[in-house]
Chains A and B, each alone.
Chain A
Amino acid sequence: MSGPISLTHNKYYSWCRDNLFSSWINGIITILSIYFIYEVSSFILNWTIFEADFVTNFRGERIIDRTFCSKNIEPGQHGACWAIIIVRFHQFIYGFYPVEEAWRVNLVYGLLPFALVGIFFDNLPFRKYFIYFTFLFPFIGYFLLYGGIGLDAVGTSKWGGLLVTLFLGVTGILLAFPLSIILALGRRSKMPVIKTICVIFIEFIRGVPLITLLFTANVMLPLFLPEGVRPDNLLRALVGVTLFQSAYMAEAIRGGLQAIPKGQLEAAQSLGLTYWQSTRKIILPQALKISIPPIVNTCIGLFKDTSLVLIIGLFDLLGVGRAAVADIDWAKLHYEVYVFISLIFFIFCFLMSRYSLYLEKKLKTDNSN
C-alpha cells in the first residue's frame, strides 16, 4: 500500500526541489511568493465571500440601502455589500424591460446557446438542423424581444444591461461576418475600383476610435435616411459596431486568404470552376478555418468595446452599473458594481478565449494527419 504513495510523494518532493528550491535565491523567492499569494487570495476571498453581505447585514437586517451595509456600520470590519447587485439585478440583466415581460428575454438567452453551437462545433450531431435554427434565430429573437403580433411591444429605449451588451455583441458580430468576407475578398480583387473602395473602408475604420464611429453613426445616420424616419439609438449603435467589427474581421480573414497557396485557385480554375465557385468551395472554407482564432480575438475585443455605447446614452451593462453607482441610496459602492460587471465580461470573454484555444488545438491535429 505504501509503495505508490511514497513514489508520488517522492515525485512531488523532487519536483519541488528542482523547480522551487534549486538555490538559495530561488528558495527565498518561492517562500515570498507563497506568502504573497496567501495574503492576496485570503483578502479576496474574505472581501468577496466570507466577510461580505448578500441579502442581510451582520445584525441580520435586510439591506434596503447603503446605510444597512455592514461595512458602513462598522467601517474596516466587513467585506463587500452585494445587496446593491441583488436589489438591482433586474436592471443589470434586462435594463428597464418590464418585469412581467422578462421571461421573453430569458427565453432568448436560453435559445441563444442552441443558435450558436451549430456554428462553433462542426462535429455536432444533427448540426444541419442547428444551423437552420441559427438562421431563424435573429427573427425569433427580434420578435420575442421587440414584440408585435400577440406580444406587447417593448421599445429598445427600455432595453438595457446585459441585454444591450449581448445584443450589440452578438448581432454586431453576426452581421459583420458576411460583410467582412466581402471586404476581405474585395481587398484582394483585381478590379481597381472595388479594391480601392475596400481598402479605404477598412483603413478608415481601423484608423478611427470606435467612439468616433459611434458618435458619427449617431449623428450622421439620420441624415442618410428619409426625413421622418428616426432610427432608434440602439440601431444607430449597432450600425457603428457592425462597421467597426467588419473591418477588423476582414483583416483577420485576409490573413487566412493569404495563407492559401496560389495553386489551389489555379487547380480550381483549370477544372473550369468560376471565380465565385472556386472562392466558395475551395478558398473560403480553408481560409476561414485558419482565421477563426484571430476572428475570435477580434470578437473578444468587440464584446468589451460595446461598453463604449454608454457614451451615446445607451444603458448597457456598464451604463446600468454607472447609474447604480450614482444612485444616492447606494452611493459609494463602486467596487461591488465594477467587480460584478468585470466578472460578467470576464466570463464571456474567457469562454471565447477557451473556444479559440480549443480550435487552435483542433486545427493542429486536423492538419497533421
Chain B
Amino acid sequence: MKQGIITLEHVNKWFGDFHVLKDINLSVSKKERIVVCGPSGSGKSTMIRCINRLEEHQEGKIVVDGIELTGNLKNIDSVRKEVGMVFQQFNLFPHLSVKENITLAPIWVKKMPKAEAEELAMRQLEIVKIPEQANKYPGQLSGGQQQRVAIARSLAMNPNIMLFDEPTSALDPEMIKEVLDVMVDLAEGGMTMIVVTHEMGFAKTVADRMVFMDEGKIVEEASPDKFFNNPESDRTKLFLSQILHQ
C-alpha cells in the first residue's frame, strides 16, 4: 500500500453489535481531493469522524501525517491540530460573535496574542468573503454565511487537511453555491480534502478520486471520469441513477 498523508488500513468499527465500518482501506496523498458518497447510513460520517477521532475505531490502523491514532491523548491532540472539520449543522458557537468563534482556538490552543488572532480572523473572513459580518452573532446570519464562518474557523488553525461532512445538505438551494465556491477556492489552493457530499457537480470539477460507500464498505474507488461514465459495481450504478434523476 502506498504511503499517503492519511491512511486507513483494515479499519473496523462497531456501535454495540452494529458493524458500521467493515474493513475500510483508504489512502489519501498530500493535496489530493477525495469525494465520498453513498446512501444515507452507509457509514460516511463515521469514517471521516474516525480520522480526527471524534469516533474511535476498534480494529485496524489509522495514520494521519505520520501520527497513529490510538488511545494516546497526545497523538489525538496533534492530529486534531493537523485536521480541520466542517459539519453539516455548522456547529458554530451561538454565544460568541463571528470573530470570537474564529479567534477562540488560535488564542486557547495556539496561545496566540488576541490582537494577532483577530487579524487572522479578519483574513479568514476575507477568504470566505464575509468580513462585514465579523461582529454579528451566528443566529443573525443566513445558513450559507454560517457555514462559511465555520470554514473560516477551521482554516484559522492552519490545518493541512480538511474534512467536510455534507457541508451543504442543511442549506437552502440558493446558498449552496456560495459555500461550494469557497470550497473550490480552497481546493485550488492545494488543500488536502475529504468531502462527503452529494453535490455531483462539485465532485466532477474538484475531485481527484471518488469513493463510493454502502453498508459500511468502500464499494468502489475511481477517478471522477470513470466513476460517473463507467462505474463497475451495480450498486454504484443504482445510486448514481437515483441521485442524478431526483
Contact = CB atoms under 8 A, between A and B. Distances in A.
A77 interface: no
Chain A interface, DSSP helix/strand/loop, else mixed:
helix
B139 A270 contact: no
Interface string A333-348: 0000000000000000
Given A289-B95, A369-B137, A269 B80 contact: yes
B54 A271 contact: no
A222 to B, nearest CB: 43
Which residue, of B52, B80, B105, B140, has the highest number of chain A Cβ atoms within 10 A?
Answer: B105
A367 interface: yes
A270 B104 contact: no
Interface residues of B, number: 26
B93 A267 contact: yes
Contacts of B52: 270
B243 to A, nearest CB: 26
Contacts of A369: 137, 139-140
B48 to A, nearest CB: 11
A267 B157 contact: no
B93 A270 contact: no
Contacts of B108: 273, 277, 281
Interface in B104-152: 104-105, 108-109, 137, 139-140, 150
Given A263-B89, A271-B154, A281 B104 contact: yes
A92 B187 CA distance: 75
B60 interface: no
B13 interface: no
Nearest to A286: B95
Contacts of B80: 269-272
Interface in A256-283: 261, 263-264, 266-274, 277, 281-282
B157 A269 contact: no
B128 to A, nearest CB: 16
Contacts of B77: 272, 274
Nearest to A275: B73
Given A270-B85, A369-B139, A286 B109 contact: no
15 contacts: A261-B91, A266-B54, A267-B85, A268-B93, A270-B80, A270-B83, A270-B84, A271-B80, A271-B104, A271-B109, A271-B153, A271-B157, A272-B157, A277-B108, A289-B95
Interface of A: 261, 263-264, 266-274, 277, 281-282, 285-286, 289, 367, 369
Closest 10 CB pairs of A and B: A267-B91, A271-B105, A263-B91, A270-B85, A272-B109, A272-B80, A272-B81, A277-B108, A266-B54, A263-B89
Interface of B: 52, 54, 77, 80-81, 83-85, 87, 89, 91-95, 104-105, 108-109, 137, 139-140, 150, 153-154, 157
Given A267-B92, A269-B54, 5 more contacts: A270-B83, A271-B104, A271-B153, A286-B93, A369-B137
